[in-house]
Amino acid sequence: MKAFEWVSPTSVNDAVKLLRAGATTRDPDEAPRPIAGGQDLLTTMKDYITRPARVVNLKAIRGMDKIEGDARRGLKIGALVTLTQLAEHPTVRRDFPALAEAAHSVATPQIRNLGTVGGNLCQRPRCWYYRLEEAVCLKKGGSECFAATGENKYNAILGGGPSYIVHPSDLAPALVALGASVVVAGAQGARTIPLEKFFTLPSEGSVRRENVLANEDIITEITVPASAFAARSTYLKFKERDSLDFALAAVAAAVELGADKTVKQARVVLGGVAPVPWRVPEAEAALAGKRLDQAALDEAARLALAGAKPLAKNAYKIPLTQALVRRALGKVGGLNS
């Protein structure tokens, strides 16, 4: 880890200023970084993937560590809320189960005890090449995505190119499915961004980043609206190694069912398969008005992966993700499949 100066402001405004003032280089990997739980940031710093000369501690800022609200009003989740807090919160577990399940699925108890909600959304990709300092890939300012033609078992089958990372966050697909937004403090004050518009594909935003945040921007809060489908939501994560792993594929699903058990509306968001949480409106639309029987699940699963373009070593993610889509929808629909 490169030496850095550590500063611990007590207000969001000061934090933004300190992040802005410390920016002395154009290399985004050397810009000042905010630190909350540090569970991802420190790993990139130890491997010199990020090399900030200034680290701005956010944990001395008060009021960002609370979960407020309920099923009727929706949730306000402070960015410093830990994954443990979120996973264990009774309201979240009862009324927003996808969110509690996603939080619980993250890494290990130790990481969840420090890792924060804001940090989880801002974590950097786990692509082998990105994480290897010696491999100067596209995301580190190089000219090539080595995964495109290399060892790409864990890489994207949807939305890839020119970089083929997958977004590592477990909360992100669940929050997108629940229609959440993030409140961001920046140089121009606070703004609210729907989470669906927060993440950027490598082909749209900067290939060096995974979201719309400017370097001095700080997520202060996540809002989850009350919805008719939050209570019938789930997050299914498939790991190669259950004890500790990122998702090979994941699905966040939520449905609102009518009195006749037909789907009034559905949300299906894929994780672990694309550079952003991958919402599949085609599958959602196909479910509307249907009962969640096996045929409907099969059709939704097929549509969810219809656009997949696997690389040489990750075609298995198609049947895997299809299975998760069927199971997630079956679960929220009360089926056993």
Partner 1 sequence: MQQQTPKKKKIRVPRVVNGQEMMVEIEVDDTGGPAWGPNDAHRLLNHRLPRVDGPAKVSGAARYTHDVRLPGMLYGRVLRAPHAHARVTKIDLAAARKLPGVKAAVEGLKDVRYAGTPVAAVAATTPELAADALRAVVVEYEVLPHVVRAEDAMKPDAPKVFNEGNVKLAGTRGDKERAADAFKTCDAVVEAEYRTPLIHHACLETHGHVVDYRGGDAATVYASTQWTFSIPEDAAPELGLQQSAVTAVVEHMGGGFGSKFGIGVEGQMACQLAKQAQAPVHLMLTRHDEFLLAGNRSGSWQKLKGGATKDGKLVVVEARQYRLGGLGDGSQAGQPYVYSADAIYREISSVHTHEDSSRAMRAPGHPQASFAMESLMDELAYKLNLDPLEFRKKNIKDPAWHRQLERGAKEIGWARRNGVPGGGAGPLKRGLGCAVGVWGGGGSPQCKVDVTLARDGAVTVAVGTQDLGTGTRTYTRAVVAEELGLQVKDVREEIGNSKLGASNPSGGSTTAASLAPAVKHAAYNARTMLAEKVAPLLGVKPEEVVFADGRVTGGGKSLAWAQACAALPPAGLVAHGEWQSQLAGNGVHGAAFAEVEVDVETGHVRPIKLVHVQDVGLPLNRLAVESQINGGMIQSLGMALWEGRVMDAQLGLQLNPGFGDYKLPGALEMPELVPVIDDGDPREVVIGVGEPSLIPTVGALANAVFNASGVRVRELPITPDKILMGLWKGGQAA
Partner 2 sequence: MADEQDKEAPARPSRRRFLKGVGIAGAGAALAGRVPDAAQRDGKGAQGAGAQTPAAGTVELALTINGQRRTVTCEPRTTLLNALRNNLEPPLTGPKLVCDMGTCGACTVLLDDKPVYSCLVLAVDAVGRKVTTVEGLGTPERMNAVQAAFVEQDALMCGFCTPGFVTTISAYLKQNPRPTLEEVREACKGNFCRCGTYPRVFAAALAAAQNATRATDD
238 touches, from partner 1, partner 2, none (C-beta below 5 to 8 Å by class): partner 1
Which of 62, 73, 197, 309 forms a contact with partner 2 (CB under 8 A)? 62
User: In the block, which residue shows the tokens 């410390």?
Assistant: 22
CA 323 – CA 311 distance, rounded (Å): 19
Shortest distance, CB of residue 99 to partner 2, whole angstroms? 17
248 touches, from partner 2, partner 1, none (C-beta below 5 to 8 Å by class): partner 1
The residues binding partner 1 (CB under 8 A) are 1-3, 48, 126, 128-129, 131-132, 134-135, 146, 149-151, 153, 238, 240-245, 248, 313-316, 319-320, 323-324, 326-327
25 touches, from partner 2, partner 1, none (C-beta below 5 to 8 Å by class): none
139 touches, from partner 2, partner 1, none (C-beta below 5 to 8 Å by class): none
Residues in Cβ contact with 73 at an 8 Å cutoff, skipping those fewer than 6 apart: 226
Q: Which amino acid is present at 71?
A: A
Q: Is 258 in the site for partner 2 (CB under 8 A)?
A: no
User: In the block, which residue shows the tokens 């939704």?
Assistant: 300
Find, among 142, 137, 143, the residue nearest to 165 by Cα: 137
Residue closer to partner 1, measured from CB, 60 or 295: 295
146 touches, from partner 1, partner 2, none (C-beta below 5 to 8 Å by class): partner 1
Q: Is 109 in the site for partner 2 (CB under 8 A)?
A: yes
DSSP 3-state of 102:
helix
Question: Which residues are paired to 236 by β-bridges?
Answer: 251
Shortest distance, CB of residue 147 to partner 1, whole angstroms? 9
335 touches, from partner 2, partner 1, none (C-beta below 5 to 8 Å by class): none
Residue closer to partner 1, measured from CB, 242 or 260: 242
Q: Where are the extended beta strands (E) located within 19-170? A: 33-35, 54-57, 67-70, 74-78
**Hey, what's the torsion of the CAs at 97, 99, 102, 107, to 10 degrees?**
-120
Which string of x and - marks every residue 73-92 that binds partner 2 (by CB under 8 A)? -------xxx-xx-------
Shortest distance, CB of residue 38 to partner 2, whole angstroms? 6
Token pair of 94, please?
A: 């009862």
Residue closer to partner 1, measured from CB, 71 or 128: 128
DSSP 3-state of 278:
strand
Instruction: Find the binding residues for partner 2 in span 10-39 (CB under 8 A).
Output: 10, 14, 18, 35-36, 38-39
Find, among 324, 279, 18, 298, the residue nearest to 174 by Cα: 279
134 touches, from partner 2, partner 1, none (C-beta below 5 to 8 Å by class): partner 1
Instruction: Give the phi and the psi of residue 29 in degrees, each rounded to 5.
Output: -75, -10
Shortest distance, CB of residue 135 to partner 2, whole angstroms? 17
Residue closer to partner 2, measured from CB, 13 or 192: 13
CA 60 – CA 70 distance, rounded (Å): 27
Residues in Cβ contact with 161 at an 8 Å cutoff, skipping those fewer than 6 apart: 145, 148, 202, 203
CA 123 – CA 20 distance, rounded (Å): 20
Instruction: Give the phi and the psi of residue 15 in degrees, each rounded to 5.
Output: -60, -45
4 touches, from partner 1, partner 2, none (C-beta below 5 to 8 Å by class): partner 2
Site residues, partner 2 (CB under 8 A)? 1-10, 14, 18, 35-36, 38-39, 42-43, 45-46, 54-55, 57, 59-65, 80-82, 84-85, 107-111, 113-114, 116, 242-244
